[in-house]
Amino acid sequence: MAAAACASGTTIDSGPREPTLCDLRCDCEGCTADEYDECAEDEALLQEAIDENECQDEFEAFFTCYTGAAVCEDETIEVPNSCVPELGELNQCVTPEPACSTLSDGICDEPEGTGTCPEGSDAVDCATPTTCATTNNGVCDEPEGTATCSEGTDVADCTPTGTCNYTNDGYCDEPEGSGLCPEGTDVNDCMPTATCPYTNDGECDEPEGTGLCPEGSDPGDCL
């Protein structure tokens, strides 16, 4: 390709065939062969983006403006001010803004989070955590506990140990009682005896009353 420099202040003559952007630049600036090849690679990447984002109309509008208005001065060619709007539309088309402007900032912005971004646009922040920062602290942090961690990430704290340090002390320590022990680990204290020494004394002594007797053992007073 001829790399002759343009005369100062003259409008580019594209010749009998439609030039590429690199033809226009290098005819003015006198590119070396390597510089032209590098420019051609960049133009090929641009064309891929144009095809991928269906920006042919935007490119055609810019290219038509550029080839008709570009001027070579002092072996330099720049985008004419009159073509800046077309260039802006082309750039916006080939590099569209992400659907979520706050993606990957540590906060889920999809509808289940802040709701400022559409579903699927903040995937990293909204992915289900695979770890729990407060695991093994003695408190179940899965949904059935504090709900600060996702299901299955705090197994040690959320799995009943099968033992209770307060068995057979006269108080039910399972969840329906004091809650100090997991379900099924304080069977004797949490099983109704069906008897109550304070039955029919005019005062309900089951858990919803004085709590001195097990559920169902003082029905006359607790009706």
Q: Is there a single domain that holds both residue 137 and residue 122?
A: no
Residue 80 lies in a domain: yes
- The DSSP line for 122-135 is SHHHHSPPS--TTT
Q: 25 exposed, middle or buried (CB, 10 Å; 0-12, 13-18, 19+)?
A: buried
Give the Cα separation of 114 and 117 in Å (integer).
Answer: 8
Residue 79 lies in a domain: yes
Residue 103, CB-side half-sphere exposure with 13 Å CA sphere: 14
Q: How many domains does the chain have?
A: 3
* CA angle 18–24–25, rounded 5-degree value: 155
Res. 17: pLDDT tops 60: no
Q: Is there a single domain that holds both residue 71 and residue 59?
A: yes
Q: Is there a single domain that holds both residue 37 and residue 66?
A: yes
Q: Is there a single domain that holds both residue 109 and residue 121?
A: yes
Instruction: Supply 51's token pair.
Output: 């095809």
What integer best gives the mean pLDDT of the chain?
79
**Domain, as residue range, for 78:** 10-94
Give the Cα separation of 200 and 223 in Å (integer).
Answer: 11
pLDDT tens for residues 153-198? 777 777 766 677 787 887 778 887 788 887 767 777 776 655 777 7
Average the pLDDT over 67-90 and give the result: 88
Q: Is there a single domain that holds both residue 67 and residue 137?
A: no
Res. 3: pLDDT tops 50: no
Report pLDDT for 114. 84
Report pLDDT for 161. 60
Report pLDDT for 11. 44
Q: Which of 47, 74, 94 corresponds to the end of one domain? A: 94
Strand-pairing partners, residue 76, are 73
Res. 80: pLDDT tops 70: yes
Q: Is there a single domain that holds both residue 19 and residue 88?
A: yes
Q: Is there a single domain that holds both residue 58 and residue 42?
A: yes
Q: Is there a single domain that holds both residue 63 and residue 15?
A: yes
Report pLDDT for 167. 79
Q: Which of 81, 106, 127 corresponds to the end of one domain? A: 127
Res. 95: pLDDT tops 90: no
Q: Is the pTM of this model over 0.85?
A: no
pLDDT tens for residues 97-133? 777 888 788 788 888 888 888 877 787 777 766 678 8
Residue 165 lies in a domain: no
Residue 212 lies in a domain: no
